[in-house]
Amino acid sequence: MNGLLDVLIVDDSRIARSMIERTLRLGRLPLSKVYHASNGKEGLEILSTRKVNLVITDINMPVMTGLEMLETMKTAAPSLPVIIVSSNPSCESPWMGTARALCKPFTPESLLKMVREVLGQP
């Protein structure tokens, strides 16, 4: 992983988005910008105007679910790394392509470990 990272966090819980961003910052990742969206539709709108290096998304959200957003991303941004964070009981099953899943509640350490793995950082 070289350079600064732009990250999109998509979750209908403002608290969850803030906790994920705080974890990334405390993990000393080289963050440039962190974008927040409260549903998949807002996430896609951000992705249409901003270039990001990583998407971290929930699944169960109003307006547009994370799965619906990921389905659209399959053609629009097929190589964009995605981490799914979900309280869905089957969150460990593969959702889409190369997306990785992390069940809520998760520890800051487990999130940081997965982010580093997805981005190829030791």
Residue ranges of the domains in the chain? Answer: 5-119
The SS3 assignment for 47 reads helix
Identify the helix (H) or strand (E) that includes residue 82: strand 82-86
pLDDT per residue over 78-108, tens digit each?
789 999 988 765 555 555 555 788 888 889 9
Residue 76 Cα to chain centre, angstroms: 16
pLDDT at position 13: 94
The whole-model pTM stands at 0.90
> Which class is 5-119 in CATH?
alpha beta
Q: Residue 1: which pLDDT band, with cuts at 50, 70 and 90?
A: very low
Q: Say if residue 122 is exposed, middle or buried (CB neighbours under 10 Å; 0-12, 13-18, 19+).
A: exposed
